[in-house]
């Protein structure tokens, strides 16, 4: 791990900004850290529209190698998401260095209540969002009622509103994190007005909530959770999502699709999720791949 006391903007993009263990609660349970084997390549290219290449899970895989492994299975482009100031700086640098990447920058909803000076932090995020043409998104922002209690929700909502305003002013795609906060997320979106392009990252709602988001113009992004046995309502939501609004993501290193749930996730595992999505939807695999690729470009402001 790099020295976390050093200037994060000077950390090279072939090193992580933190470990997975530093970003989640420690349950004490032992996890299998062995990386799953590569699946069969997809017939056409797709984009992983939400990934955290800067977060290490077990043995670190450098950025170049992670991109190459993904390319080998026809996952040819990745949206790298920064969730705090060090991660956002890392994402901007990565997008400038690698043609396969674009970036999103924001304060994660669970990060916002921890910030001492939200005004200063948002000014820094705005500067990063404007720093390079490869920064296509403001996010992930939003609301999280699972990890943030009542005492932090006012700050979280204020941060969300500021990120919405920033996305609209800079004409960036808004990427929304929503955990156990469906109604409040849409309430804030309705009060502030959605930007032209917005994505419900790692969509976690049911069919009814999917329709409410779609009615407001959202793209819905599905992660490895759609392969989980207990995810019937999520698969119902996927089934009603129009072909021109569906996206795929990893949220790596989290949310590894079945049958490797719990092991380190990475963009090269996207084919497992896409094949499961095609089965749920009854889509031709090539047609779904083409739609995902086209939709991602449209959702993130055009080709790169």
pLDDT digits (tens, 9 = 90+) for 169-210: 999 999 999 999 999 999 999 999 999 999 999 999 999 999
DSSP-based three-state secondary structure for 290:
helix
Contact (Cβ atoms closer than 8 angstroms) between residue 55 and residue 23: yes
Residue 244 located in a structural domain:
yes
Band of pLDDT at residue 297, cut at 50, 70 and 90: very high
- Range 255-260 average pLDDT: 98
Contact (Cβ atoms closer than 8 angstroms) between residue 109 and residue 66: no
Q: How many domains does the chain have?
A: 1
- Range 250-275 average pLDDT: 98
Residue 35 located in a structural domain:
no
**Which pLDDT score is estimated for 14?**
83
**Which pLDDT score is estimated for 209?**
98
- Range 60-88 average pLDDT: 97
- The residues pairing with 144 across neighbouring beta strands, listed in sequence order, are 179
Say which residues have a Cβ less than 8 Å from residue 189's Cβ, sequence separation at least 6.
164, 198, 216
Q: Is 142 exposed, middle or buried (0-12, 13-18, 19+ CB in 10 A)?
A: buried
**Which pLDDT score is estimated for 117?**
97
Band of pLDDT at residue 30, cut at 50, 70 and 90: low
Residue 237 has, within 13 A of its CA and on its CB side, a CA count of 28
User: Is it the case that residue 70 has pLDDT exceeding 90?
Assistant: yes
**Which pLDDT score is estimated for 12?**
62
Residue 13 located in a structural domain:
no
Take residue 271 and report the two structure tokens written for it. 């084919």
Supply the DSSP symbol for 252: B
Residue 26 located in a structural domain:
no
**Which pLDDT score is estimated for 202?**
98
Take residue 62 and report the two structure tokens written for it. 């450098």
- Range 48-52 average pLDDT: 98
Take residue 265 and report the two structure tokens written for it. 């996730």
Q: What percent of the chain has pLDDT over 70?
A: 94
CATH number at residue 260: 3.20.20.140
Say which residues have a Cβ less than 8 Å from residue 281's Cβ, sequence separation at least 6.
238, 239, 243, 246, 288
**Which pLDDT score is estimated for 176?**
98
What is the chain's mean pLDDT, rounded? 93
Residue 133 located in a structural domain:
yes
Residue 179 located in a structural domain:
yes
Residue-range definition of the domain harbouring residue 159: 45-299
pLDDT digits (tens, 9 = 90+) for 116-148: 999 999 999 999 999 999 999 999 999 999 999
Instruction: Return the higher-pLDDT residue of 147 and 232.
Output: 232
Contact (Cβ atoms closer than 8 angstroms) between residue 16 and residue 54: yes
**Which pLDDT score is estimated for 58?**
78
Q: What percent of the chain has pLDDT over 90?
A: 87
- Range 49-56 average pLDDT: 96
Residue 232 located in a structural domain:
yes
**Which pLDDT score is estimated for 4?**
33
**Crossing angle of helices 118-129/85-97, nearest 10°?**
0
User: Is it the case that residue 52 has pLDDT exceeding 90?
Assistant: yes
Residue 286 located in a structural domain:
yes
């Amino acid at each position: 791990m790099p020295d976390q006391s050093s200037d994060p903007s000077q950390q090279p993009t072939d090193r992580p900004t933190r470990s997975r263990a530093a970003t989640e609660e420690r349950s004490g349970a032992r996890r299998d850290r062995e990386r799953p084997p590569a699946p069969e390549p997809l017939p056409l290219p797709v984009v992983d529209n939400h990934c955290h290449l800067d977060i290490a899970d077990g043995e670190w895989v450098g950025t170049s190698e992670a991109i190459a492994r993904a390319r080998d299975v026809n996952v040819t482009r990745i949206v790298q998401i920064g969730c705090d100031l060090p991660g956002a700086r890392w994402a901007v640098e990565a997008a400038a260095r690698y043609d396969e990447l674009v970036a999103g920058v924001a304060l994660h909803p669970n990060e916002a209540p921890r910030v001492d000076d939200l005004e200063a932090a948002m000014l820094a995020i705005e500067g990063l969002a404007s720093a390079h043409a490869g920064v296509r998104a403001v996010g992930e922002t939003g609301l999280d009622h699972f990890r943030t209690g009542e005492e932090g929700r006012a700050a979280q909502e204020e941060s969300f509103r500021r990120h919405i305003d920033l996305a609209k002013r800079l004409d960036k795609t808004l990427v929304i994190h929503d955990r156990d906060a469906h109604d409040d997320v849409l309430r804030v979106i309705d009060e502030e007005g959605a930007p032209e392009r917005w994505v419900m990252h790692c969509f976690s709602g049911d069919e009814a909530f999917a329709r409410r988001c779609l009615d407001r113009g959202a793209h819905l992004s599905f992660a490895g959770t759609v392969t989980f046995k207990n995810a019937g309502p999520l698969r119902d939501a996927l089934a009603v999502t129009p072909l021109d609004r569906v996206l795929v993501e990893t949220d790596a290193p989290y949310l590894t699709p079945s049958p490797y749930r719990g092991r380190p996730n990475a963009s090269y595992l996207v084919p497992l999720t896409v094949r499961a999505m095609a089965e749920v939807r009854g889509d031709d695999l090539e047609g779904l791949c083409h739609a995902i690729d086209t939709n991602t470009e449209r959702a993130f402001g055009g080709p790169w």
